Every structure is written in C-alpha cells, then in structure tokens.
Amino acid sequence: LSEYLLALRLERVLKKEDILESYLNRIPLGGNIKGVEAASWYYFGKSAKDLTLLEAASLVSLFPAPERFRPDKNPEGFLKRRNALLERLCRRGIISEEEYALYVSSPPPIPRGFPRLAYHAAWFLRQTTTSPRVFSSLSFSLEEWLERLLDEVLVTLPREITACAVVVENSTGAILAYVGNARFRKDPEQAFVDCLQAPRSPGSTLKPFVYARAFDRGLLVPSSIIADTPFGLRGNVPRNFDEGFRGPVSCEMALALSLNVPAVRVARKVGLEDVLGLLQALGFSRLQRSADFYGDALVLGGCEVTPLELVRAYTALSCLGEAISLSFFREDEGPQKKRVFSPGSAYMVAEILADRFRFNPLPKRTLPTPLCAFKTGTSYGLRDAWTVAYNPRYTVLVWFGDPRGLPHEELVGIRLAAPCALRIMEYLMGRERVWYGCPEDIEWREVCPVSGKIASSRCEGKIPAPFLKGVSPLEVCDLHATSLGNPSSPWSGEVQAALGRPDAIPLAIVSPVSGRRYFTLPGTPSLRLPLRAEGGKGPIFWFVDGTYAGQSQPGGTLFVSLPPGEHHIIASDKSGQSDTTEVVVSSTAFAKTRRDFGAPLP
C-alpha cells in the first residue's frame, strides 16, 4: 500500500519520462553498480548513449534480477534471457531475421571494469569544477599509451621510484596527457601523490631561461666564449656533473652539455635579481625568497618548482617567447599568452637544444629537420631525473624520482628521463618532422670559430652564427691581432687560467666549509675531515692549528683527523697565495640525536 501511494505521489509531480529516467539512473545492475550509465561503462567501456542495439539489449536482460543473470557469473542464464529478448524484438519487426541470427550467436560481454586512466587528472578536475560531467582535452589513446610506457620503464627500477609525465599542445595550451603518478594502483603508499603538482628541485632545467635572457639583453650570443674554469669562492665552488672543466667554451656548447660553471657565470652577467624576477614571471610560485637567499644555486636547481609549472614555463621557449596558459579544456578563444622572450632568443635556445645538433659535429644546416629540442636535469644528490622536450607542436615533460625525496643512483636525467621523453615525441610525431622558421629579429653573421666574435680579415674557418638585430654585441675578433709583429691572444683572465697562463684562479678552500660544526662518528675520538682547495699554483700546503698537515694538488683532497674543539686551517700555494677557514668539531655525545653532520654554527 505504501509503495502504491508513493507511486501516485510521483505521478502527480513527475512526467512518465522523468520517472523512467530516474529509474534507469538508479536501478541496481549487479554488485555495487547502479544505473545504466555505470553498467554501460563497466561492461562495454562506453557511455550508454553510444551503445549498440545488442549492447543495450544485454543490459536490459539484467532486469530485474541482475545478480542471478550476470554474464560473468551465469553466462548460460544470461544468454537465455538476452536471446529471448532478441526473439521478441525480431517478432515485432524491430530487428531483421539476419540481425537476430547474428546477435544470438554473440558471446556474453566480458566486464571491462571502470575506466582507471588519468586518475590524478580526474581528481584535479573534480576539485576545480562543479559540473558532474566534464569533457576534457585528454586523449584517451595517448593517455593509455603513456601510462603503459612508464609502466614498462618502472619495471626495471626500484619500487620506491615513480614517474610522472605531461603532454601539452602548443597551439591551444590543452593538456593531452596527464600521468600524475605512474605507480598508481601498484604502490598504495605513494599512489595518491600527484607528482606533477609536487615541488621538487629542477636540477639543470632552468638554465635555458637564463641563457635566453642573456641573449635578449645583448650580453651574449650563442657563439660567445665563456670560461668553464673553477671559481675562487670560499666554501661554494660550482662543479660540472662529470667533475671536470673544459676551459674556454661557447655558450652554445655550454648549454648543450649543461655545464654548471658557465651557467653560473651567465647568471652573474644577467644578475641574480633579474634571474629571480624572470623565473617568477614564468610562473614559479614557490620562489618567494630574495636573490641573496638562493644565490648561484638558483640556476643549478637550488629551489623548488612543480613539474606542471616547469612545463608551462617551457612553453615560453616552445612558442618562441610566449608563455601560454595550460588547460584541461580546449578554449574557444585560445590560451592566454604572455611575452617573456623575443622570438629570436627563444629560437637560438631551440637550435642549441635541438637533438640534430646535440652530439653531432656536423654543421647544423647539413642535418635533417630535428624531432625536438630537449633539456635534461638531475637534482643534487640524484633525487630527481628530468627531461623537457619540445617542438612547434608539443611540449613534453617527464620526471622520475622518489616521492619521499630520497636519492637513488638511477635518477640521472639523460639516462632515465630523456629516452622516455624522446619516445613520447616519436609517438606524437610519427614520421613527420616540423621545426621553427628563422624569426625576423635574427640576422646571420660570420664569426671566428675560436673567439666566437664577428670574424675579422685575419680569422680562418669563419662560420655563420645568429645575432639579434639591434641587440646582440657586435664585437670584432681581436684574438688574431698582432703586437710588434707577434701574434697576440687577448683571452680573458678566466680563460687564460684554463689555458695554463700565469694569472691563475685565486686559491680558495672549498672543504671544510668555514663556520660549520662537524660531529665525530659514534665511538671515535676524532673526525677524519677532507681538506680540498681550488685554484692556486702547484702543490697546496696545509696547516692545521699552526702545524703542517700535508700537501695536495688543486682540486685534490687531503684527509686529516681532527679531535673535538675549534680548528684554524690554512692553505698556501707556492706563489704565496693563501686562504683560511675555521671549523668546530664536536663529539657525537654532544650532538645526541642530531643527524646533520655539517650544520652551521648557532
């Protein structure tokens, strides 16, 4: 009686069509599946509006006892009910006899389960939109392929390492693929961390922005020579990834090989305040401290960015100077744009990072159109492996790392992330190759291959190089000048030091760091501390608390044992240069629970 009264009440307030719609959206169809839309996705992997007649008949066959006639639990019973329904449709002329014969021979559907792609993208959209149904820009086939690719790579890595990746369409700013955490469904401890939104150290991936700014300000051009030599800075000497120095190198080579020392020199030419302002303008929201706080480490990854911020920043390079807004939707009016670099400087960086030139000594103009430009990055301590790849159509980012921030020896950008990023680009482009046309603000001039400056009549082997019209320095090569009939080589002091000239880099102690407190290991009365200095001439002589401790070569290490207490350390070379540092060694008992064995003095 109560159900009868409820039915009458519904008839008064709802139309027949509304009642049927409500019924179809709520009817139980086995397990925890409710409604034909959910059942359609579960059994056929599509929306109910896209079902064929046979698929729709299969769902109707589950009414009103879905558990008894589920095709995965009772296929015989299901087929009997479905075929009986098809027979009624044939008798009523809704389907032909040929269609009936074809349909009844079809096997029962195999449940596909619900779509589980792009979990983190779906979660992000759920938090940022109110609509119950969202049509995103994500490509189902690309998302599926990308998740499968990352799964294949992660099989060979420790389970603590995961990956994330994103693909952006440059013309629209649309996100075509979004894998927030490739370990989703496989590692419950880390699965729900959306690594694309997590702050990480960017490693060397910020260097292209600094070079582009230097080009725009007329400080350098790709052919400009810069010194890859040790810095004479106490306690803070940037080193290259391979621990070596190459002497005079062009900006083009320095960026292509991701050399740290030249990058710091370029950042100093630009100015750390300007570099910080540039990165903030590119959308790195966590850079809230002063330039003095970050120091030279800013260009080497001594800050935090999210992968999503980084890929958006790289659109300023992939879109020839204009950073674009990213979206999960294809906006009719197109993406928002912000001019950050000139087209010419962005083009210069793309040419440097293009894969056709990266490790190929042939002249660029003889090589085929490149697949993409790409930049790798490895954070300090091997905690993050990055690669960002781009061409005129797409910008791709791949990151590998441990969500807990722990180091792993496998986390090197060029070895781990770069192959994945290039495979993604190959999948996107197929056999097609597109590249940037030379912007109007670029002019080509002949330069000296040795000095990198505009070639003079004395220079040999002149090569073409790009310059920004009205911006780039137009210095003429003076390296091949003569003085009193003899060749003159006016290298800068830094480069002369790398070439073995007498005016070497000043001596500077880099270990131990001045003003630090160090702790002995448990059960040991003293601490074995490495002494190392850069620059200087010949052997370096070490004195600890006024007593000679030994000697080492520049860049070499001398180990000494220091008891607890304050210690005064002096380094001196054969030319009379010297540097000093003061440290404190404390016993482990004093430190107790402290885990930092190189903490600053309070």
Q: Would the pLDDT of 365 be above 50?
A: no
Residue 585 is encoded by which pair of tokens? 């060694």
Q: Which residue has the tokens 């440290």?
A: 583
Residue 115: the pLDDT is: 65
Q: Would the pLDDT of 246 be above 90?
A: no
- In the 8-state DSSP scheme, what is residue 525? S
The band of 416, judged by pLDDT with boundaries at 50, 70 and 90, is very high
Q: Could you give the percent of the chain with pLDDT greater than 90?
A: 47
Residue 602: the pLDDT is: 32
Out of 195-209, 418-432, 467-481, least confident range: 467-481
Q: pLDDT tens across 38-93, in order?
A: 888 888 888 888 899 999 998 888 887 888 888 888 889 889 999 999 999 999 99
The secondary structure element, H or E, covering residue 228 is: strand 225-228
Does 277 or 13 have the greater pLDDT score?
Answer: 277
Out of 252-261, 270-279, 588-597, least confident range: 588-597
Q: pLDDT tens across 481-504, in order?
A: 655 555 555 555 555 555 554 345
The band of 131, judged by pLDDT with boundaries at 50, 70 and 90, is confident
The answer for residues whose C-beta is within 8 angstroms of residue 252's C-beta and 6 or more apart is: 222, 223, 352
Q: Which of 119, 138, 140, 114 is nearest to 41 (CA)?
A: 114
How far is residue 381's CA from residue 526's CA, in Å, rounded to a whole number? Answer: 26
| Other Cβ atoms within 10 Å of 601 Cβ, number | 10
Residue 345 is encoded by which pair of tokens? 């400087």
Out of 213-222, 441-450, 485-494, least confident range: 485-494
Q: pLDDT tens across 90-118, in order?
A: 999 999 999 999 999 999 888 777 667 77
Q: Which of 35, 59, 38, 47 is nearest to 109 (CA)?
A: 59
The arithmetic mean of pLDDT across residues 164-186, rounded, is 91
Positive or negative torsion for Cα 453, 455, 459, 464: positive
Residue 497: the pLDDT is: 52
| Secondary structure class of 567 (helix, strand, coil) | strand
Q: Would the pLDDT of 260 be above 60?
A: yes
Q: Would the pLDDT of 219 be above 70?
A: yes
Q: Would the pLDDT of 508 be above 90?
A: no
Cis amide bond preceding 522, omega within 30: no
Q: Which of 512, 515, 490, 516 is nearest to 501 (CA)?
A: 490
For strands 516-519 and 578-586, give the pairing.
parallel
Q: Are 62 and 29 in contact (CB under 8 A)?
A: yes
Length of the chain in terms of residues written: 602
Q: Are 299 and 375 in contact (CB under 8 A)?
A: no
Q: Would the pLDDT of 573 be above 70?
A: yes
Does 400 or 489 have the greater pLDDT score?
Answer: 400
The band of 443, judged by pLDDT with boundaries at 50, 70 and 90, is very high
Residue 234: the pLDDT is: 44
The arithmetic mean of pLDDT across residues 142-156, rounded, is 93
The band of 306, judged by pLDDT with boundaries at 50, 70 and 90, is very high
Q: Would the pLDDT of 410 be above 80?
A: yes
- What distance, in Å, lies between the first and last C-alpha atoms of the chain? 81
Q: pLDDT tens across 366-389, in order?
A: 446 788 999 999 998 899 999 999
Q: Would the pLDDT of 257 be above 50?
A: yes
Q: Would the pLDDT of 130 be above 80?
A: no
The answer for residues whose C-beta is within 8 angstroms of residue 414's C-beta and 6 or more apart is: 376, 378, 387
Please give the mean pLDDT across all residues of the chain.
84
- In the 8-state DSSP scheme, what is residue 74? -
Residue 361: the pLDDT is: 40
How far is residue 457's CA from residue 465's CA, in Å, rounded to a whole number? Answer: 17
Alpha-carbon Rg for the chain, nearest whole angstrom, is 33
Residue 332: the pLDDT is: 60
Residue 502: the pLDDT is: 39
Q: Would the pLDDT of 317 be above 90?
A: yes
Q: Could you give the percent of the chain with pLDDT greater than 70?
A: 87
Q: Would the pLDDT of 403 be above 60?
A: yes
Q: According to the 3-state scheme, what is the secondary structure of 136-196?
A: CCCCHHHHHHHHHHHHHHHCCCCCCCEEEEEEEECCCCEEEEEECCCCCCCCCCCCCCCHH
Q: To the nearest 10°, the Cα dihedral for 411, 317, 281, 204?
A: 20
Count Cα neighbours of 556 within 13 Å in the Cβ-side half-sphere. Answer: 14
Out of 23-32, 194-203, 225-234, 345-354, least confident range: 225-234
Alpha helices in 336-492, H assignment, sequence order: 343-353, 418-429
Q: Would the pLDDT of 283 be above 50?
A: yes
Predicted structure pTM score: 0.72
The band of 360, judged by pLDDT with boundaries at 50, 70 and 90, is very low
